[in-house]
């Protein structure tokens, strides 16, 4: 099920909602207004711990960069 981000145009609250059907109406969780805009979301990848430790010379196993430090971590 997709999770979408919204912003209420009446009270300014930003919130996330799981949408089960495209016909679902979305109401603000704070003021219950139907006047909400869907926000542009960025796909996120959760970082987990690796069972083996990576040395600094190893390629980054988190983002796929050729070398550690290339992605700003």
* 14-49 pLDDT, tens digit each: 999 988 877 778 999 999 999 999 998 766 566 655
The model's pTM: 0.53
Domain span at residue 26? 3-38
pLDDT at 59: 59
Q: Is a pLDDT exceeding 50 seen at residue 3?
A: yes
CB 26 within 8 A of CB 6: yes
Cα 29 from Cα 14, distance rounded (Å): 9
Residue 20 falls inside a structural domain: yes
Alpha-carbon dihedral 49, 50, 51, 55, rounded to 10 degrees: -120
Q: How confident is the model at residue 1 (pLDDT cuts 50, 70, 90)?
A: low
Cα 72 from Cα 52, distance rounded (Å): 21
Our count of domains for the chain comes to: 1
Residue 29 falls inside a structural domain: yes
pLDDT at 64: 67
Residue 58 falls inside a structural domain: no
Residue 54 falls inside a structural domain: no
Find residue 5's DSSP bridge partners. Answer: 16
Selected residue with higher pLDDT from 11 and 56: 11
The conformation of residue 23, written as its DSSP 8-state character, comes to: T
């Amino acid at each position: 099920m997709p999770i979408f981000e919204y912003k209420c145009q009446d009270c300014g609250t930003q919130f996330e909602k799981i949408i089960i059907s495209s016909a679902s109406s979305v109401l603000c969780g704070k003021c219950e207004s139907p006047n909400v805009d869907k926000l542009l979301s960025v796909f996120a990848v959760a970082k987990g711990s690796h069972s083996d430790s990576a040395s600094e010379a190893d390629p980054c196993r988190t983002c796929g960069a050729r070398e550690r430090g290339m992605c700003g971590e």
